[in-house]
Amino acid sequence: MTEMAQTTAAATRTAETVAARLGRRYAAERRFRALGLASILMSVAFLAILLGTIVQKGWTGFMQTQIALEVSFDPQVIDPDGGRDPLTLDTADYADLVRNAMAARLAPDADRNARRDLSSMVSTMAADQLRRMVTGNPALIGTKATVWLLASDKLDMVSKGQAPRQPGAVGNVLNDRQLAWLGALEEAGQTRKTFNTTFFTAGDSRAPEQAGIWGAVVGSFFSLAITLLVSFPLGVATAVYLEEFAPTNRWTDLIEVNINNLAAVPSVVFGLLGLAVFLNVFHLPRSSPVAGGLVLALICLPTIIIAGRAALKAVPPSIRQAAAGLGASPLQIVSHHVLPLAMPGMLTGTILGMARALGETAPLLMIGMVAFIVDIPKSPLDPSAVLPVQIYLWAGSSERAFVEKTSAAIMVLLLFLVSMNMVAIILRKKFERRW
Amino acid sequence: MQTLTLAVVLLLLSTLAFQLGRKRAFAVSERQSMPLHSLPGYYGSWVALWCGLPAFAILALWLMFEPSLVRELVVADLPAAMRDLPADRVDVLVNEVRNAAMGHATADADLAVAAEHYNHLRHIGFAVIAAITVTIALAGAAFAWRRIQPELRARPRVEASVNVFLVASSTVAIFTTIGIVLSLLFEAMRFFNMVGFMDFLFGLNWSPQMSTRSDQVGSSGAFGMIPLLTGTMLISLISMVVALPLGLFSAIYMSEYAQPRVRAVAKPALEILAGIPTVVFGFFAVITVAPVIRSVGEVFGLSVAAESALAAGFVMGITLIPLISSLSDDVITAVPQSLREGAFGLGATRSETIRQVVLPAALPGIVGGVLLAVSRAIGETMIVVMAAGLSAKLTFNPLEAVTTVTVQIVTLLVGDTEFDSPKTLAAFALGLMLFAITLGLNVVALHIVQKYREKYD
């Protein structure tokens, strides 16, 4: 009896310790699981914060502030001798018209200082706006018209709430007088915010309100076109050779190891190669999309080759055997049967490689694509910027108004990347075949 | 532009040659009432190859040598006083001539004449090369066209040239590597002729600013890479402290615990994170992370540098999470299910199974992935260029500003480059070190993965 009681007691004790330990073990289990969930949530949160910051800082970049002014096209300023000579009309002092109009509206008896303050509220592009109006229609001279003129970056920032409005606040970009004038204009409904077309049509500029991304978009387009033209045929040919024809020997082993290593070489090293070979040996034009596109092609090549080989591997051998059985030559087997089946996979890999190339910045800095370029490039040989480099340049600019331009440009870049990835995903979904 | 037109013309000629060859094959076969050896298209391709290949080869050669040829001729025609200037002055003159030839105004009458001469030469040169290539294209096509016979083995011949193209393409990767190694080695050797190899490798001072006058203070410039290496290591270390736990735990949760719904959200999110260009992260580090770290530091009474290693390393860590997570995910899913079931059968909880069975089995793969991530961190450029400092300080304090190898490469090469000053060449020496380090890490990573992989099947 006592023995039984003892065993029961021992069993109860064991059960108790096991239960207690089990509690601890389950707690550890829950902790472990929570850690995993927390790290995923943190990673997603980082992504959300990043995108949130960019959108929050950048969406105003797609808007610009304009001021309505009654401009009198004074013949004394534009064309004193009344000859209506095109050259005179083109070189007249339109900035003076803008200053006069500002003074007439806000401070009729302004002294030199006040006039300078007035004119710094309007963009220097306003004068160009008037010039275009007058040269397009000389009949305007001598009349008065209300024109919406582009505001300066400082007024733009205050109007968008990115700089303080209270006179005397820390970080003011406009002085007290200018803030009062702005208030007067806003009260009279003479300011408005419109869609910022300049941002999508202009090249780079030192003045934030006149800066645009079109030059960089064109430069990126030229670079990527060259990258695609060079790396796609080379990549597909290499993949086909290595996967379908190459004998297994030391030479092909070497090529394979080499390609895998190239994929892991830091991109800045490719930039050094571009500088030393494409610029110094082949004398390609500095900071041109040709040089940039070639460097990017070398960077993309391993990605395209690796993706291409995977796509070729996925085509079942029975296809090849069937074609061979019908008397096709090895090249015919590949070009008529295997390659068309592998093409969607290869294209997916290529698009992903292109997306990477579109965001690549460091190697392009090496070949001089950081120059300040206003003109829109007309050919791949012209100096140009590319989108990520434009972002880098604006991010390093001391003008605070460039922060929203940088964020807006990032939004455009991300939009391009997302659409490229979407195309890749659709391609994969639509054409992927499981054998 | 002209060259492009010429290339298009040659391409059109080749297309025409293809059609003619194909027609001729049919005609010949009918006339001699003999079946063709190959499909008719191959005869067309064969004629097209004869038409296009030699012409394009000559065009390529011309494009390579034209600039130097024209340059020589222009220089030879310059007034003697200009011609006898030192070589670099002549280079400047030639550039001015080129600009003038493009249509920019020039003040110098001699240069204007030379520019006209330059344009004239280029026009003649283009006319000559256009005539030569078109003639050769036509001659090649005619030659091949006349030789079309039913028994001509057109397919093997065309396939042989395609084969040559395939083999040549696959060597481009090799040539890229050779090009990288040679260009880095060549410029680095020139650098080591000016600065001692040991001084570079073990020097504790880095201040590459060379003054233009020799009598200025601090004109010598110091090229010791140790501060750069410690800076690189510090930032990489910080990034791994962020990325390793987050990436590994994300992978574990996704492969072992997550419901399909969580996976469907988290996996694309990580892929998006991986696809965002690093220049965006650099901007994020400057505009958001660095100020936050600064103000947090102020709360604790710490002075944080504006471009602290912590901010750069932290953001770099975020960029590495997807890499570590996807590589670990792969190796964790590759561990056979039977191991897990064995552990469950012995009464282990899920976390015990993961910690004591799955992770040890997946360890080599994880270590390999981590080494790849470290190599990526060392070679990462844009984040550190934007968010880390420029001053090479020998410190391990994450709150101070440090600089890295890649930052220095970029700063040395952006702007004016002079390939005879150690300042520019130093970038190539740093590039060589970077290449060697990352290559070494990759080789070790692959070796570990292959050697210590547990084989279960």
Q: pLDDT per residue over B249-306, tens digit each? A: 999 999 999 888 988 888 889 989 999 999 999 999 999 999 999 999 999 988 888 8
Q: What is the pLDDT of residue A101?
A: 87
**Residue B184 to chain A, least CA–CA distance (Å):** 7
> Which chain A positions have a beta carbon within 8 Å of B382's beta carbon?
361-362, 392
Whether A413 contacts chain B with CB within 8 A: yes
In this prediction, residue B456 has a pLDDT band, given cuts at 50, 70 and 90, of: low
Whether B152 contacts chain A with CB within 8 A: no
A348-385, pLDDT tens digit by residue?
A: 999 999 999 999 999 999 888 888 888 888 888 888 99
Whether B246 contacts chain A with CB within 8 A: yes
Q: What is the DSSP code (8-state) at residue A213?
A: S
Looking at per-residue pLDDT, the higher value among B219 and B55 belongs to B55
> Which chain A positions have a beta carbon within 8 Å of B442's beta carbon?
261, 264
> Which chain A positions have a beta carbon within 8 Å of B321's beta carbon?
43, 46
Contact state of B283 with A395 under an 8 Å Cβ cutoff:
yes
| pLDDT at B212 exceeding the cut of 70 | no
Whether B386 contacts chain A with CB within 8 A: yes
> Which chain B positions have a beta carbon within 8 Å of A32's beta carbon?
350-351, 354-355
B416-433, pLDDT tens digit by residue?
A: 777 778 888 899 999 999
Domains of chain B listed by start with CATH number: 2-152 (no CATH), 222-451 (1.10.3720.10)
Q: What is the mean pLDDT of residues B207-214?
A: 62
| pLDDT at A178 exceeding the cut of 90 | no
> Which chain B positions have a beta carbon within 8 Å of A245's beta carbon?
163, 166
Nearest-by-Cβ selection for B176 from A262, A379, A392: A262
Contact state of B170 with A246 under an 8 Å Cβ cutoff:
yes
In this prediction, residue B57 has a pLDDT band, given cuts at 50, 70 and 90, of: very high
In this prediction, residue B106 has a pLDDT band, given cuts at 50, 70 and 90, of: low
Q: How big is the A-B interface in CB pairs under 8 Å?
A: 246
Distance CA A116, CA A48 (A): 44
Please give the ipTM for the structure prediction.
Answer: 0.90
Question: A162 in helix, strand or coil?
Answer: coil
Among A24, A31, A39, A232, the residue to mutate for chain B (most B Cβ within 10 A): A39
Q: What is the pLDDT of residue B105?
A: 66
B5-26, pLDDT tens digit by residue?
A: 899 999 999 999 999 999 999 9
Least confident of A24-33, B111-120, B228-237: B111-120
Nearest CA in chain B to A241: B166
Q: What is the pLDDT of residue B218?
A: 47
Whether A288 contacts chain B with CB within 8 A: no
Whether B177 contacts chain A with CB within 8 A: yes
Nearest CA in chain A to B385: A362
Whether B170 contacts chain A with CB within 8 A: yes
| pLDDT at B454 exceeding the cut of 90 | no
Q: What is the mean pLDDT of residues A180-187?
A: 87
Residues 198-227 of A with CB under 8 A from B: none
